[in-house]
Structure 1
Amino acid sequence: MRKFSPEYLRRTRDGMWEQSREALEPLSLADRERILDAGSGTGELARVLDEESPGRVVCLDADPDLLAVAREQTGLDVVAGDATRPPFRSDSFDLVVCQALLVNLPEPVAALRAFADCSTELVAAVEPDNADVGVDSTVAAEVELERSVREAYIEGVETDVAMGDRLVSLFRDAGLEAVQTRRYYHRKLIEPPYDETELTAAARKASGAALTEHETELRRTLSPAEYDTLRREWREMGREVVEAMREERYRRAEVVPFDVVVGRVSGTRMSVAEGG
């Protein structure tokens, strides 16, 4: 499974759930007593779970550096361990949930089965559909370059990072029942005045560092010459972004769709509303 830095998670999850939390309604958070955030990273989702639920929330992640950030920022209980094999007894929670975890796993169904063993009621996943990301920018080259990088990355990555509708089938293959799905759109807008995170992101484009994060996956798809050309064009685009930001004429909008899928552990009772 890929490792992510705290900085990467902040950039990709910044502002998520600030606009709306309606997509989380099937998790019935107000009724939860014990929640496990599997693969919690730095705890962005765990904070939302804690705010929306009266129950206890536990963060589980294999990376101690990410857990340290999660503990500091949320004040929640943290446990170091493999999210795909939670170190808890059966039925320890009434909800096990993950965000952007299954897309990074070679065997997501096995993880869902492990989550179901830990839960008495619900298992949920919030997963990005990276094939359906939309980008608009005042720097025209950015739109086409990001599309090219995204397509090459999806082809070169070794896991399914664009599950979309297939998530429902994965839940059913794991033995989960009464599966529900909703789509949540994480909208990110960059416009003047720019904050420090946005300025840093622009500088990373100009240096090529943002592209280097995905170099391994891109090189599986692109020839050395194609990668070198892409990197050169990417850095040129980044410098144009930096210049436009200096003149406060740069604007960028990105929409990342997330599928929120919830399933009930086999044998648990459905409510009248769910069962019909």
Structure 2
Amino acid sequence: MTIAIQNNLQKLLVAVLFLSFAGCDMFRSDDPQAGTISLEIVNMIDGQELVLDQELYTSSAGHDYSVSLIEYILTNVKLHRADGTVVSLDTAQYCNQEDHDSRHLDSEEIPAGQYDSISFTFGVDGAENVFGSLERTTDFDNMLWPMMAPMGDGTTERYHYMRFEGHYGVDKTFRIHNGPSGGSDYSFDVSLPISMDVDNQDWAIELQMNLEEWLTNPVDWDFDAYGMIMGNQAAQEIVQTNGSSVFSIGSVDEL
């Protein structure tokens, strides 16, 4: 092989390698890429994850108590970007301490961008709270809230927002059933700050429900003063008011 041919082959090889690398760069996008998000909901009391059926807790009113049931509905779960864009994650999420999967919102793809808050409705707001408006699953159907008389739309069934039950004292039971008592809307909106710059990553948010806050801040809840509260609108207002401090962000992590 002559020197001229060798030189030409070397030049050709260099050209091929250059074009290969250039081609990779040519198809590589510098634009931010979508990522994924998952949401884990953790029920807490006094900074520790809830343990069912063990009398470990003391309320602000001085009652030693245990929790046997906590289940609730979150609706309209959304992420908010700094530019004002709103990304909906889920229309309704049933959560139960006994079912871990119910407290995990599966990973979903979300657009790239800087996110600064997450929001949701605790319960089902008045306009949407008609039985059958949520997916017909056993979990949602079991959250039925019966009405004593038909409402303006002729229906008599709504959804509970929450069932929070347990024991206190020697052998006493408490039941905090939160919902549309008397047809009034006691759901409420929650917005919490986060910091998440999405660009082709997987992200996980831990949302904490701090159950002790239902029993205080600003109103101390005395188990002896309330029995079944489904028909007690004054008690429902207290639950709604105390709910303002129940939720917090535990962590926001890039996976």
With the length of structure 2 as denominator, give the TM-score of the two structures: 0.25
**Greater percentage in helix:** 1
RCO greater where, 1 or 2, for CA within 8 Å and sep 6 or more?
2
With the length of structure 1 as denominator, give the TM-score of the two structures: 0.23
